[in-house]
Structure 1
Protein backbone atom coordinates (compact mmCIF):
# COMPACT_ATOMS: atom_id res chain seq x y z
CA UNK A 1 0.00 0.00 0.00
CA UNK A 2 1.34 3.42 -0.97
CA UNK A 3 1.29 5.72 2.10
CA UNK A 4 3.20 8.60 0.50
CA UNK A 5 0.16 10.88 0.56
CA UNK A 6 -1.45 9.47 3.70
CA UNK A 7 -2.85 12.06 6.10
CA UNK A 8 -2.19 10.76 9.59
CA UNK A 9 -4.64 11.14 12.46
CA UNK A 10 -2.47 12.35 15.35
CA UNK A 11 -3.10 12.74 19.09
CA UNK A 12 -0.71 15.21 20.73
CA UNK A 13 0.27 14.83 24.39
CA UNK A 14 2.09 17.73 26.05
CA UNK A 15 1.90 20.38 28.74
CA UNK A 16 4.89 22.73 28.92
CA UNK A 17 5.85 25.60 26.60
CA UNK A 18 8.50 23.39 24.96
CA UNK A 19 5.67 21.51 23.23
CA UNK A 20 3.88 24.54 21.76
CA UNK A 21 5.93 24.94 18.52
CA UNK A 22 5.66 21.17 17.92
CA UNK A 23 1.87 21.26 18.25
CA UNK A 24 1.63 24.34 16.00
CA UNK A 25 3.90 22.70 13.41
CA UNK A 26 1.67 19.59 13.35
CA UNK A 27 -1.43 21.76 12.95
CA UNK A 28 0.20 23.47 9.93
CA UNK A 29 1.36 20.15 8.46
CA UNK A 30 -0.49 17.89 6.02
CA UNK A 31 -1.59 15.71 8.95
CA UNK A 32 -4.57 16.14 11.28
CA UNK A 33 -4.34 16.73 15.03
CA UNK A 34 -7.54 15.03 16.23
CA UNK A 35 -7.02 15.51 19.96
CA UNK A 36 -4.76 17.04 22.59
CA UNK A 37 -4.01 15.52 26.00
CA UNK A 38 -2.57 17.89 28.60
CA UNK A 39 -2.30 18.35 32.37
CA UNK A 40 -5.31 19.44 34.44
CA UNK A 41 -5.55 23.19 35.06
CA UNK A 42 -3.59 24.27 38.14
CA UNK A 43 -4.21 27.04 40.70
CA UNK A 44 -1.73 29.89 40.11
CA UNK A 45 -1.06 33.43 41.29
CA UNK A 46 -2.23 35.14 44.46
CA UNK A 47 -5.88 34.51 43.72
CA UNK A 48 -5.14 30.86 42.90
CA UNK A 49 -7.16 31.13 39.69
CA UNK A 50 -6.97 28.01 37.54
CA UNK A 51 -4.20 28.31 34.98
CA UNK A 52 -4.28 26.52 31.61
CA UNK A 53 -1.16 24.83 30.28
CA UNK A 54 0.54 26.48 27.26
CA UNK A 55 -0.43 23.45 25.15
CA UNK A 56 -4.09 23.73 26.17
CA UNK A 57 -4.15 27.39 25.16
CA UNK A 58 -3.01 26.49 21.64
CA UNK A 59 -5.51 23.62 21.38
CA UNK A 60 -8.34 25.97 22.35
CA UNK A 61 -7.19 28.54 19.82
CA UNK A 62 -7.49 25.94 17.03
CA UNK A 63 -10.67 24.31 18.46
CA UNK A 64 -9.02 20.92 18.91
CA UNK A 65 -10.74 18.54 21.38
CA UNK A 66 -8.89 18.47 24.74
CA UNK A 67 -8.52 15.79 27.42
CA UNK A 68 -7.06 16.54 30.87
CA UNK A 69 -7.05 13.23 32.75
CA UNK A 70 -5.77 13.10 36.32
CA UNK A 71 -4.89 9.44 35.76
CA UNK A 72 -3.66 8.23 32.38
CA UNK A 73 -4.98 4.73 33.16
CA UNK A 74 -8.52 6.03 33.69
CA UNK A 75 -10.80 3.61 31.75
CA UNK A 76 -13.08 6.37 30.45
CA UNK A 77 -10.08 8.35 29.13
CA UNK A 78 -8.53 5.27 27.49
CA UNK A 79 -11.90 4.46 25.87
CA UNK A 80 -12.01 7.99 24.44
CA UNK A 81 -8.49 7.61 23.02
CA UNK A 82 -9.40 4.28 21.44
CA UNK A 83 -12.55 5.80 19.91
CA UNK A 84 -10.44 8.54 18.26
CA UNK A 85 -8.61 5.85 16.21
CA UNK A 86 -5.29 7.73 15.98
CA UNK A 87 -2.62 6.49 13.57
CA UNK A 88 0.12 7.99 15.72
CA UNK A 89 0.63 9.73 19.07
CA UNK A 90 3.22 12.48 19.60
CA UNK A 91 4.56 13.28 23.08
CA UNK A 92 6.46 16.50 23.88
CA UNK A 93 7.21 17.66 27.46
CA UNK A 94 4.52 15.53 29.07
CA UNK A 95 4.73 12.87 31.81
CA UNK A 96 5.38 9.14 32.00
CA UNK A 97 2.78 7.17 30.06
CA UNK A 98 1.40 3.70 30.78
CA UNK A 99 2.05 1.03 28.15
CA UNK A 100 -1.67 0.65 27.47
CA UNK A 101 -1.67 4.26 26.22
CA UNK A 102 1.58 4.49 24.25
CA UNK A 103 0.89 1.20 22.46
CA UNK A 104 -2.60 2.26 21.41
CA UNK A 105 -2.03 3.63 17.85
CA UNK A 106 -0.93 1.29 15.00
CA UNK A 107 2.18 3.44 14.43
CA UNK A 108 2.89 3.71 18.16
CA UNK A 109 3.94 6.86 20.05
CA UNK A 110 6.94 9.06 19.32
CA UNK A 111 8.66 11.51 21.64
CA UNK A 112 10.68 14.70 21.07
CA UNK A 113 13.62 14.83 23.51
CA UNK A 114 16.08 17.71 23.93
CA UNK A 115 19.38 15.81 23.90
CA UNK A 116 21.46 13.51 21.73
CA UNK A 117 20.15 10.23 23.12
CA UNK A 118 21.28 7.95 24.67
CA UNK A 119 23.06 10.80 26.48
CA UNK A 120 21.07 12.95 28.94
CA UNK A 121 18.05 10.74 29.46
CA UNK A 122 15.64 12.28 31.95
CA UNK A 123 13.46 15.27 32.74
CA UNK A 124 16.01 18.12 32.49
CA UNK A 125 18.44 17.47 29.60
CA UNK A 126 18.82 21.13 28.62
CA UNK A 127 19.79 22.29 32.11
CA UNK A 128 22.21 19.44 32.81
CA UNK A 129 23.98 19.85 29.45
CA UNK A 130 24.79 23.48 30.33
CA UNK A 131 25.62 22.69 33.97
CA UNK A 132 28.07 20.02 32.78
CA UNK A 133 29.77 22.42 30.35
CA UNK A 134 28.76 20.69 27.11
CA UNK A 135 29.40 22.59 23.89
CA UNK A 136 26.86 20.59 21.89
CA UNK A 137 23.43 19.07 22.41
CA UNK A 138 20.58 18.30 20.05
CA UNK A 139 17.12 16.90 19.44
CA UNK A 140 16.26 13.20 19.33
CA UNK A 141 12.95 11.81 18.13
CA UNK A 142 12.36 8.25 19.26
CA UNK A 143 9.72 5.56 19.55
CA UNK A 144 8.40 5.15 23.09
CA UNK A 145 9.22 1.87 24.85
CA UNK A 146 9.15 0.46 28.39
CA UNK A 147 12.13 2.25 29.97
CA UNK A 148 12.13 6.05 29.95
CA UNK A 149 13.97 7.67 27.00
CA UNK A 150 15.36 4.35 25.74
CA UNK A 151 13.31 3.65 22.58
CA UNK A 152 14.67 3.32 19.04
CA UNK A 153 15.93 6.59 17.54
CA UNK A 154 14.03 7.76 14.45
CA UNK A 155 15.97 10.98 13.84
CA UNK A 156 18.50 13.29 15.46
CA UNK A 157 20.00 16.69 14.82
CA UNK A 158 23.04 18.26 16.53
CA UNK A 159 22.87 21.79 17.97
CA UNK A 160 25.82 23.82 19.32
CA UNK A 161 25.50 25.38 22.78
CA UNK A 162 26.57 29.02 22.43
CA UNK A 163 29.12 30.61 24.83
CA UNK A 164 27.31 32.15 27.79
CA UNK A 165 23.95 30.67 26.76
CA UNK A 166 21.38 30.14 29.51
CA UNK A 167 19.11 27.11 29.77
CA UNK A 168 16.18 29.38 28.91
CA UNK A 169 17.77 30.63 25.69
CA UNK A 170 18.80 27.12 24.63
CA UNK A 171 15.29 25.84 25.45
CA UNK A 172 13.78 28.46 23.15
CA UNK A 173 16.09 27.49 20.27
CA UNK A 174 15.62 23.74 20.71
CA UNK A 175 11.82 23.87 20.81
CA UNK A 176 11.78 25.41 17.31
CA UNK A 177 14.38 22.97 15.95
CA UNK A 178 12.47 20.08 17.54
CA UNK A 179 9.19 21.13 15.92
CA UNK A 180 10.76 21.23 12.45
CA UNK A 181 12.45 17.86 12.91
CA UNK A 182 9.20 16.34 14.20
CA UNK A 183 7.20 17.10 11.04
CA UNK A 184 10.05 15.91 8.80
CA UNK A 185 10.32 12.69 10.83
CA UNK A 186 6.60 11.94 10.57
CA UNK A 187 6.67 12.55 6.81
CA UNK A 188 9.66 10.19 6.57
CA UNK A 189 7.76 7.57 8.58
CA UNK A 190 4.83 7.79 6.18
CA UNK A 191 7.14 7.46 3.18
CA UNK A 192 9.17 4.57 4.67
CA UNK A 193 12.38 6.63 4.64
CA UNK A 194 13.35 5.85 8.24
CA UNK A 195 15.50 3.10 9.69
CA UNK A 196 14.99 3.08 13.48
CA UNK A 197 18.26 2.71 15.40
CA UNK A 198 18.33 0.91 18.77
CA UNK A 199 20.04 3.18 21.30
CA UNK A 200 22.53 0.52 22.41
CA UNK A 201 24.08 0.74 18.94
CA UNK A 202 24.94 4.40 19.59
CA UNK A 203 26.84 3.67 22.81
CA UNK A 204 30.52 3.60 21.86
CA UNK A 205 33.17 1.80 23.97
CA UNK A 206 34.24 4.03 26.87
CA UNK A 207 31.34 6.44 26.31
CA UNK A 208 30.08 8.04 29.53
CA UNK A 209 26.33 8.63 29.60
CA UNK A 210 25.12 11.59 31.68
CA UNK A 211 21.82 11.41 33.58
CA UNK A 212 19.40 14.34 33.40
CA UNK A 213 17.09 13.98 36.41
CA UNK A 214 14.51 16.53 37.49
CA UNK A 215 16.10 19.68 38.97
CA UNK A 216 15.43 20.52 42.62
CA UNK A 217 16.06 23.76 44.51
CA UNK A 218 19.02 22.26 46.38
CA UNK A 219 20.70 21.44 43.02
CA UNK A 220 20.83 25.21 42.42
CA UNK A 221 22.72 25.95 45.65
CA UNK A 222 26.13 27.45 44.77
CA UNK A 223 29.12 25.80 46.44
CA UNK A 224 31.89 28.38 46.24
CA UNK A 225 34.60 25.81 46.99
CA UNK A 226 34.22 24.55 43.42
CA UNK A 227 35.91 25.91 40.30
CA UNK A 228 34.84 29.29 38.91
CA UNK A 229 33.95 27.84 35.50
CA UNK A 230 31.85 25.09 37.07
CA UNK A 231 29.98 27.67 39.17
CA UNK A 232 29.25 29.88 36.14
CA UNK A 233 27.93 26.85 34.23
CA UNK A 234 25.61 26.11 37.17
CA UNK A 235 24.35 29.71 37.15
CA UNK A 236 23.65 29.60 33.39
CA UNK A 237 22.04 26.17 33.61
CA UNK A 238 19.68 27.23 36.41
CA UNK A 239 18.43 30.33 34.55
CA UNK A 240 15.45 30.89 34.33
CA UNK A 241 14.43 28.25 36.89
CA UNK A 242 14.98 27.47 39.72
CA UNK A 243 17.87 30.06 39.63
CA UNK A 244 21.25 29.51 41.29
CA UNK A 245 21.42 30.87 44.82
CA UNK A 246 23.70 31.58 47.74
CA UNK A 247 23.25 33.27 51.12
CA UNK A 248 24.33 36.85 51.76
CA UNK A 249 23.99 38.16 55.33
CA UNK A 250 21.41 35.45 55.98
CA UNK A 251 19.28 36.40 52.96
CA UNK A 252 18.88 34.41 49.77
CA UNK A 253 20.79 35.92 46.84
CA UNK A 254 19.71 34.61 43.44
CA UNK A 255 22.25 34.94 40.63
CA UNK A 256 20.95 34.89 37.07
CA UNK A 257 24.12 35.63 35.09
CA UNK A 258 27.84 35.65 35.80
CA UNK A 259 31.20 35.09 34.12
CA UNK A 260 34.65 33.91 35.11
CA UNK A 261 37.19 36.64 35.82
CA UNK A 262 40.12 35.97 33.50
CA UNK A 263 42.96 35.24 33.85
CA UNK A 264 42.18 32.74 36.59
CA UNK A 265 44.13 33.49 39.75
CA UNK A 266 43.58 31.57 42.99
CA UNK A 267 42.06 33.94 45.57
CA UNK A 268 44.00 34.41 48.82
CA UNK A 269 40.70 34.43 50.72
CA UNK A 270 38.19 31.69 51.66
CA UNK A 271 35.74 30.53 48.93
CA UNK A 272 32.54 32.59 49.01
CA UNK A 273 34.31 35.81 50.03
CA UNK A 274 32.66 38.83 48.41
CA UNK A 275 34.69 41.62 46.79
CA UNK A 276 33.19 44.81 45.35
CA UNK A 277 34.10 48.42 44.64
CA UNK A 278 30.50 49.37 45.54
CA UNK A 279 29.88 50.77 42.04
CA UNK A 280 30.79 48.57 39.08
CA UNK A 281 31.58 45.01 40.11
CA UNK A 282 30.65 42.31 42.58
CA UNK A 283 32.91 39.23 42.69
CA UNK A 284 32.76 36.01 44.69
CA UNK A 285 35.86 33.91 45.40
CA UNK A 286 35.74 30.36 44.03
CA UNK A 287 38.30 27.58 44.50
CA UNK A 288 40.51 28.67 41.62
CA UNK A 289 39.43 32.20 40.70
CA UNK A 290 36.74 34.87 40.91
CA UNK A 291 33.16 34.79 39.64
CA UNK A 292 31.86 38.15 38.41
CA UNK A 293 28.13 38.55 38.96
CA UNK A 294 26.21 40.29 36.15
CA UNK A 295 22.55 40.02 37.20
CA UNK A 296 21.14 39.19 40.62
CA UNK A 297 18.25 39.51 43.05
CA UNK A 298 18.48 39.79 46.83
CA UNK A 299 15.58 38.38 48.81
CA UNK A 300 12.82 41.00 49.06
CA UNK A 301 14.29 43.15 46.25
CA UNK A 302 14.01 43.43 42.46
CA UNK A 303 16.07 41.52 39.93
CA UNK A 304 18.76 43.96 38.76
CA UNK A 305 21.97 44.29 36.72
CA UNK A 306 24.95 44.43 39.08
CA UNK A 307 25.56 48.20 38.72
CA UNK A 308 21.93 49.00 39.59
CA UNK A 309 22.04 46.57 42.48
CA UNK A 310 25.18 48.16 43.93
CA UNK A 311 23.57 51.62 44.02
CA UNK A 312 21.39 50.45 46.89
CA UNK A 313 23.69 47.82 48.39
CA UNK A 314 25.40 48.43 51.72
CA UNK A 315 27.28 45.23 52.42
Structure 2
Protein backbone atom coordinates (compact mmCIF):
# COMPACT_ATOMS: atom_id res chain seq x y z
CA UNK A 1 0.00 0.00 0.00
CA UNK A 2 1.06 3.60 -0.59
CA UNK A 3 1.31 5.30 2.81
CA UNK A 4 1.77 8.88 3.96
CA UNK A 5 3.09 9.31 7.52
CA UNK A 6 2.49 12.31 9.74
CA UNK A 7 4.59 12.04 12.87
CA UNK A 8 7.82 12.78 14.60
CA UNK A 9 10.79 11.37 16.41
CA UNK A 10 12.05 7.84 16.80
CA UNK A 11 8.56 6.34 16.93
CA UNK A 12 7.60 7.66 13.49
CA UNK A 13 10.85 6.28 12.05
CA UNK A 14 10.23 2.89 13.66
CA UNK A 15 6.74 2.81 12.16
CA UNK A 16 8.03 3.82 8.73
CA UNK A 17 10.72 1.14 8.74
CA UNK A 18 8.33 -1.55 10.00
CA UNK A 19 5.84 -0.74 7.24
CA UNK A 20 8.60 -0.79 4.62
CA UNK A 21 9.72 -4.18 5.94
CA UNK A 22 6.17 -5.42 5.30
CA UNK A 23 6.44 -4.34 1.67
CA UNK A 24 4.49 -1.07 1.85
CA UNK A 25 5.67 2.14 0.20
CA UNK A 26 6.11 5.40 2.10
CA UNK A 27 5.32 8.13 -0.44
CA UNK A 28 5.55 11.19 1.81
CA UNK A 29 5.98 12.37 5.38
CA UNK A 30 4.97 15.34 7.50
CA UNK A 31 7.15 16.13 10.51
CA UNK A 32 8.19 19.19 12.52
CA UNK A 33 10.76 21.31 10.74
CA UNK A 34 13.25 20.99 13.59
CA UNK A 35 13.86 18.84 16.63
CA UNK A 36 12.64 20.34 19.88
CA UNK A 37 15.13 22.89 21.19
CA UNK A 38 16.90 23.38 17.85
CA UNK A 39 16.78 26.46 15.64
CA UNK A 40 19.18 25.88 12.71
CA UNK A 41 17.25 24.67 9.67
CA UNK A 42 20.47 24.62 7.66
CA UNK A 43 21.94 21.94 9.90
CA UNK A 44 20.54 18.48 9.13
CA UNK A 45 21.43 17.38 12.67
CA UNK A 46 18.73 19.78 13.86
CA UNK A 47 16.02 18.17 11.75
CA UNK A 48 13.32 15.96 13.22
CA UNK A 49 14.25 12.30 12.90
CA UNK A 50 11.43 11.48 10.49
CA UNK A 51 12.52 14.32 8.21
CA UNK A 52 16.11 13.06 8.39
CA UNK A 53 14.96 9.53 7.59
CA UNK A 54 13.01 10.68 4.52
CA UNK A 55 15.71 12.89 3.01
CA UNK A 56 18.25 10.27 1.80
CA UNK A 57 15.38 8.14 0.50
CA UNK A 58 14.08 11.01 -1.68
CA UNK A 59 10.73 10.87 0.12
CA UNK A 60 8.72 14.08 0.03
CA UNK A 61 8.73 15.98 3.35
CA UNK A 62 6.29 18.66 4.53
CA UNK A 63 6.41 20.70 7.72
CA UNK A 64 3.63 19.15 9.81
CA UNK A 65 2.53 22.63 10.91
CA UNK A 66 1.65 23.34 7.28
CA UNK A 67 0.15 19.97 6.30
CA UNK A 68 -2.86 20.36 4.00
CA UNK A 69 -4.71 18.19 1.50
CA UNK A 70 -2.57 19.49 -1.35
CA UNK A 71 0.52 17.93 0.24
CA UNK A 72 -0.88 14.39 0.03
CA UNK A 73 0.19 12.79 -3.27
CA UNK A 74 -2.35 11.24 -5.61
CA UNK A 75 -2.95 7.53 -5.09
CA UNK A 76 -2.27 7.43 -1.35
CA UNK A 77 -4.04 4.50 0.28
CA UNK A 78 -3.41 5.31 3.93
CA UNK A 79 -2.46 8.26 6.08
CA UNK A 80 -0.82 7.10 9.30
CA UNK A 81 -0.38 9.40 12.31
CA UNK A 82 2.63 8.21 14.30
CA UNK A 83 3.22 10.49 17.29
CA UNK A 84 1.70 13.34 15.35
CA UNK A 85 0.59 16.45 17.23
CA UNK A 86 -0.71 18.09 14.05
CA UNK A 87 -4.46 18.03 13.45
CA UNK A 88 -5.22 16.22 10.19
CA UNK A 89 -8.29 17.89 8.74
CA UNK A 90 -11.23 16.43 6.88
CA UNK A 91 -10.02 17.39 3.41
CA UNK A 92 -6.58 16.01 4.12
CA UNK A 93 -8.01 12.73 5.43
CA UNK A 94 -10.18 12.47 2.33
CA UNK A 95 -7.04 12.21 0.20
CA UNK A 96 -6.49 8.67 1.53
CA UNK A 97 -8.30 6.07 -0.56
CA UNK A 98 -8.69 3.56 2.27
CA UNK A 99 -8.33 5.13 5.73
CA UNK A 100 -6.55 7.58 8.02
CA UNK A 101 -5.41 5.94 11.24
CA UNK A 102 -3.38 6.91 14.27
CA UNK A 103 -1.92 5.43 17.43
CA UNK A 104 -2.78 6.65 20.91
CA UNK A 105 -0.94 5.35 24.02
CA UNK A 106 -3.99 4.61 26.14
CA UNK A 107 -7.00 2.33 26.23
CA UNK A 108 -9.32 4.70 24.41
CA UNK A 109 -11.74 6.20 25.25
CA UNK A 110 -9.69 6.64 28.45
CA UNK A 111 -7.07 9.38 28.58
CA UNK A 112 -7.78 11.26 25.40
CA UNK A 113 -5.33 14.10 24.94
CA UNK A 114 -1.63 14.49 24.19
CA UNK A 115 -0.28 13.62 27.65
CA UNK A 116 -2.00 10.27 28.17
CA UNK A 117 1.12 8.52 29.47
CA UNK A 118 1.99 11.26 31.95
CA UNK A 119 -1.56 11.17 33.32
CA UNK A 120 -1.43 7.37 33.56
CA UNK A 121 1.70 7.60 35.74
CA UNK A 122 0.38 10.57 37.72
CA UNK A 123 -2.83 8.70 38.56
CA UNK A 124 -0.95 5.59 39.66
CA UNK A 125 -2.76 3.29 37.24
CA UNK A 126 -1.71 -0.35 37.07
CA UNK A 127 -3.10 -1.13 33.62
CA UNK A 128 -2.75 0.83 30.41
CA UNK A 129 -2.45 -0.01 26.73
CA UNK A 130 -2.50 1.29 23.20
CA UNK A 131 -5.16 1.93 20.59
CA UNK A 132 -5.10 2.32 16.83
CA UNK A 133 -8.12 4.31 15.75
CA UNK A 134 -9.61 6.01 12.71
CA UNK A 135 -9.09 9.77 12.78
CA UNK A 136 -12.17 12.00 12.79
CA UNK A 137 -12.98 15.63 13.55
CA UNK A 138 -13.01 14.86 17.28
CA UNK A 139 -9.78 14.53 19.22
CA UNK A 140 -8.85 10.87 19.80
CA UNK A 141 -12.51 9.89 19.46
CA UNK A 142 -12.68 7.90 16.23
CA UNK A 143 -13.62 4.21 15.95
CA UNK A 144 -11.09 1.68 17.24
CA UNK A 145 -9.28 -0.55 14.76
CA UNK A 146 -7.08 -2.45 17.25
CA UNK A 147 -6.35 -2.28 20.96
CA UNK A 148 -4.24 -4.14 23.53
CA UNK A 149 -3.69 -3.69 27.25
CA UNK A 150 -0.54 -4.11 29.33
CA UNK A 151 0.38 -3.88 32.99
CA UNK A 152 2.33 -0.85 34.12
CA UNK A 153 5.67 -2.09 35.55
CA UNK A 154 6.51 -0.87 39.07
CA UNK A 155 8.56 2.32 39.24
CA UNK A 156 7.74 3.24 35.63
CA UNK A 157 8.28 6.77 34.44
CA UNK A 158 6.44 8.29 31.46
CA UNK A 159 9.67 7.94 29.47
CA UNK A 160 10.31 4.29 30.35
CA UNK A 161 6.70 3.27 29.88
CA UNK A 162 6.67 4.82 26.41
CA UNK A 163 10.12 3.66 25.30
CA UNK A 164 10.01 0.09 26.60
CA UNK A 165 6.34 -0.79 26.26
CA UNK A 166 3.88 1.57 24.61
CA UNK A 167 6.00 2.57 21.61
CA UNK A 168 6.82 -1.04 20.61
CA UNK A 169 3.15 -1.91 21.11
CA UNK A 170 2.18 0.99 18.84
CA UNK A 171 4.46 -0.16 16.04
CA UNK A 172 3.06 -3.66 16.25
CA UNK A 173 -0.58 -2.53 16.32
CA UNK A 174 -0.13 -0.13 13.41
CA UNK A 175 1.48 -2.85 11.29
CA UNK A 176 -1.37 -5.19 12.19
CA UNK A 177 -4.04 -2.69 11.19
CA UNK A 178 -2.28 -1.77 7.94
CA UNK A 179 -2.08 -5.49 7.12
CA UNK A 180 -5.79 -5.85 7.86
CA UNK A 181 -6.66 -2.92 5.62
CA UNK A 182 -4.41 -4.18 2.82
CA UNK A 183 -6.26 -7.50 2.95
CA UNK A 184 -9.69 -5.87 2.98
CA UNK A 185 -10.42 -6.17 6.72
CA UNK A 186 -11.75 -2.80 7.85
CA UNK A 187 -12.39 -2.80 11.62
CA UNK A 188 -14.24 0.13 13.22
CA UNK A 189 -15.51 -0.27 16.79
CA UNK A 190 -17.17 2.90 18.13
CA UNK A 191 -15.78 4.30 21.35
CA UNK A 192 -18.09 4.36 24.37
CA UNK A 193 -18.61 8.05 25.12
CA UNK A 194 -19.92 7.31 28.61
CA UNK A 195 -16.46 6.00 29.53
CA UNK A 196 -14.49 8.79 27.87
CA UNK A 197 -11.98 10.83 29.83
CA UNK A 198 -9.88 13.71 28.61
CA UNK A 199 -7.00 15.53 30.27
CA UNK A 200 -5.21 18.69 29.12
CA UNK A 201 -1.55 18.75 28.16
CA UNK A 202 0.53 19.26 31.27
CA UNK A 203 2.75 21.88 29.63
CA UNK A 204 -0.01 23.89 27.94
CA UNK A 205 -2.90 26.10 29.12
CA UNK A 206 -6.15 24.25 29.96
CA UNK A 207 -8.33 23.50 26.94
CA UNK A 208 -12.10 23.21 27.34
CA UNK A 209 -13.51 20.12 25.58
CA UNK A 210 -17.31 20.39 25.79
CA UNK A 211 -17.85 17.30 23.65
CA UNK A 212 -16.14 15.19 26.34
CA UNK A 213 -17.04 16.95 29.59
CA UNK A 214 -20.68 17.46 30.52
CA UNK A 215 -21.27 20.32 32.96
CA UNK A 216 -23.86 19.89 35.72
CA UNK A 217 -27.30 20.62 34.34
CA UNK A 218 -26.22 20.15 30.74
CA UNK A 219 -28.05 18.00 28.21
CA UNK A 220 -26.83 16.82 24.82
CA UNK A 221 -28.35 18.36 21.71
CA UNK A 222 -27.46 18.01 18.04
CA UNK A 223 -24.94 15.23 18.50
CA UNK A 224 -21.81 16.70 20.08
CA UNK A 225 -23.23 19.99 21.35
CA UNK A 226 -24.36 20.69 24.91
CA UNK A 227 -27.07 22.98 26.20
CA UNK A 228 -26.59 24.39 29.70
CA UNK A 229 -29.78 24.99 31.67
CA UNK A 230 -29.56 27.97 33.99
CA UNK A 231 -32.13 29.02 36.60
TM-score (normalised: structure 1): 0.58
Number of the residue aligned with 1:198: 190
User: Aligned to 2:142, what secondary structure does the other structure show?
Assistant: coil
Q: CA deviation at 1:218?
A: 9.6
The reply on whether 1:210 has 2:197 as its aligned counterpart is: yes
Contact 1:152/1:198, CA 8 A, preserved across alignment: yes
User: Aligned to 1:20, what secondary structure does the other structure show?
Assistant: helix
Number of the residue aligned with 2:170: 178
Q: Report the aligned-residue RMSD.
A: 2.3
Contact 1:154/1:196, CA 8 A, preserved across alignment: yes
Aligned partners of 2:18, 2:36: CA distance in 1, in Å? 29
Matches within 5 A, 1:1-315: 8-41=1-34, 44=37, 48-50=39-41, 51-68=46-63, 70-73=65-68, 78-81=69-72, 83-94=73-84, 95-172=86-163, 173-200=165-192, 207=195, 209-216=196-203
Q: CA deviation at 1:43?
A: 7.9
1:250-276 CA-partner distances (Å, limit 9, x unpaired): xxxxxxxxxxxxxxxxxxxxxxxxxxx
User: Aligned to 1:181, what secondary structure does the other structure show?
Assistant: helix
Q: Which has the larger radius of gyration?
A: 1
User: Aligned to 2:66, what secondary structure does the other structure show?
Assistant: coil
Structure 2 segments unaligned to the other structure (5+ residues): 207-231
Contact 1:18/1:171, CA 8 A, preserved across alignment: no
User: Aligned to 1:199, what secondary structure does the other structure show?
Assistant: coil
May I ask how many residue pairs the two structures share in their alignment? 200
User: Aligned to 2:27, what secondary structure does the other structure show?
Assistant: strand
Aligned partners of 1:218, 1:15: CA distance in 2, in Å? 22
Number of the residue aligned with 2:219: none
